[in-house]
Amino acid sequence: MTWNWQQDEWPNFSYDREALAPNETQFIHEAGMVHGAIKHLTEGDQSQLTIDLISNEAVTTSEIEGEILNRESVQSSIRRNFGLDTDNRKIPLAEQGIAALMSDLYQHAGTTLSEEQLFGWHTMLMRGRNDLTPIGAYRTTQSPMQVVSGPIATPKVHFEAPPSHRIQTEMNRFLAWFNHTAPVGQQSLPALMRAGIAHLYFESIHPFEDGNGRIGRALSEKALSQNVGRPTLIALSQTICRSRKAYYAALEDNNKDLDITDWLSYFTRTVLEAQQYTQHLIDYLIAKTRLYDRLRGKLNERQDKVLTRMFREGLDGFKGGLSAENYLKITHTSRATATRDLQSLVELGALRKAGELKHTRYWLSILKVPDGQS
């Protein structure tokens, strides 16, 4: 098997620019729309949007790699990194690490990419790892760096990266490419092309013993932010996570050739979908603010507590819908009181009721009731 980095023209990727041009135009247009919509949020909602998106990206970029983290801990750590109030909980090291990386990505999105920043990200990401060396440096092991699946005795090799003795040279060239193709660089590239190439290029080198996927996705977000001139707040990892198989298939299908039109077509569609998610989240926050304005002075303490809990779930809503049993657990009230409270919330237009008897569920009125639940 011949990999892309073994070819004579490496790393000179080729692709159909004309085929990708419409997506580039749409991305820039949508980026402006999202930025304008954010300005219509209250200062508190702008802060909440930032924290929610960064937290979700931190959790889902880890989930793509099979690591399940505690979202509340990640969010608390990010709030601390931004100097905001927290619940002072004890944060596990893994949650601290990805929170630190994502916070740094947001706070230094526009800076020139350096080896120091990459090593810093890797050190953050590997916080608490005692089974891995080196940390905060490129891999040095002599054994091949392979992406494999299947039985140990007969594994399927999906990709093999360059040997460790080539990593320094490869990464020097990658860093030069990344900075030269920036908007102020000597060979600037359109946003989506640059972000997509950056991710595939970095993954093809696979310079670290672990964490390459998470750092590669962070590089894509950094590239997009540089091209629009501000942090993008884009739900890239969340979108990828919903279709992980397609993501891994796209990477594998483009690691043997230098024509990466198919990869960039997949990647640009994914970014546009992520952009739409961000717009939906902004619309959700605006609707939330309007709903609370309309309900001001009409909710009791129990109802307010339940709505706050439901809004915390974001666009995906309360999993399975809110049941009367859920209401009882959250408020610790009587069943009769819970029934009256829920009926009142429906009459006030805060909740929408679906189902009957023991299958009755309640959904926030500003969210669509999932298919099959009405």
Name the band, by pLDDT with cuts 50, 70 and 90, for residue 373.
low
Are residues 231 and 131 located together in one domain of the fold?
A: yes
Q: Given this model, what pLDDT does residue 371 score?
A: 59
The answer to whether residue 374 sits within a structural domain is: no
Domain final position from 223, 250, 282: 282
Are residues 355 and 241 located together in one domain of the fold?
A: no
The answer to whether residue 373 sits within a structural domain is: no
CATH for 87: 1.10.3290.10
Q: What is the mean pLDDT of residues 44-59?
A: 91
Are residues 75 and 198 located together in one domain of the fold?
A: yes
Convert the pLDDT of each residue in 135-148 to its tens digit: 999 999 999 999 99
* 241 pLDDT more than 90: yes
The answer to whether residue 173 sits within a structural domain is: yes
- pTM equals 0.89
Hey, how many other C-beta atoms are within 10 angstroms of the C-beta on 342? 21
Are residues 193 and 101 located together in one domain of the fold?
A: yes
Residue with tokens 């916070």: 103
Are residues 230 and 163 located together in one domain of the fold?
A: yes
Are residues 319 and 233 located together in one domain of the fold?
A: no
Q: What is the mean pLDDT of residues 192-206?
A: 98
Q: By the 8 A CB rule, do 191 and 223 touch? A: yes
Domain final position from 282, 316, 331: 282
Q: What is the mean pLDDT of residues 273-292?
A: 91
Provide the CB-side half-sphere exposure for 95 (13 A, CA): 19
Instruction: Calculate what percentage of the chain has a pLDDT beyond 70.
Output: 98
Instruction: Domain count for the chain, please give it.
Output: 2
Name the band, by pLDDT with cuts 50, 70 and 90, for residue 151.
confident
Range of the domain at 312: 300-364
Residue predicted with more confidence, 75 or 44: 75
Residues near 193 by beta carbon (within 8 Å), at least 6 away in sequence: 15, 17, 20, 24, 264, 268
* 372 pLDDT more than 60: no
Residues near 104 by beta carbon (within 8 Å), at least 6 away in sequence: 117, 120, 121, 124
Q: What tokens appear for 138 in the block?
A: 């490129």
DSSP per-residue codes, 113-137: P-HHHHHHHHHHHTTT--S-S-SSS
Are residues 305 and 195 located together in one domain of the fold?
A: no
Residue predicted with more confidence, 320 or 237: 237
Q: What is the dihedral of CA 334, 336, 340, 345, to 10 degrees?
A: 50
Are residues 272 and 329 located together in one domain of the fold?
A: no
The answer to whether residue 162 sits within a structural domain is: yes
The answer to whether residue 170 sits within a structural domain is: yes
Domain final position from 282, 309, 325: 282
The answer to whether residue 287 sits within a structural domain is: no
Q: What tokens appear for 316 in the block?
A: 């995906």
Q: What tokens appear for 69 in the block?
A: 């983290």
The answer to whether residue 371 sits within a structural domain is: no
Q: By the 8 A CB rule, do 54 and 223 touch? A: no
CATH for 318: 1.10.10.10
Are residues 276 and 319 located together in one domain of the fold?
A: no
Convert the pLDDT of each residue in 11-43 to its tens digit: 999 999 999 999 999 999 999 999 999 988 888
Q: What is the 3-state secondary structure (H, E, C) of 184-233?
A: CCCCCCCHHHHHHHHHHHHHHHCCCCCCHHHHHHHHHHHHHHHHHCCCCC
Q: To which H or E segment does residue 96 belong? A: helix 93-107
Q: What is the mean pLDDT of residues 107-134?
A: 97
Are residues 69 and 188 located together in one domain of the fold?
A: yes
Are residues 17 and 154 located together in one domain of the fold?
A: yes
The answer to whether residue 357 sits within a structural domain is: yes
What separation in angstroms does the CA of 325 have from each of 207, 208, 311? 50, 48, 18
Among 110-114, 263-267, 280-284, 338-342, the minimum mean pLDDT is found in 280-284
Query: What is the Cα–Cα distance from 311 to 322, expressed in whole angstroms?
Result: 12
Are residues 322 and 207 located together in one domain of the fold?
A: no
* 59 pLDDT more than 80: yes
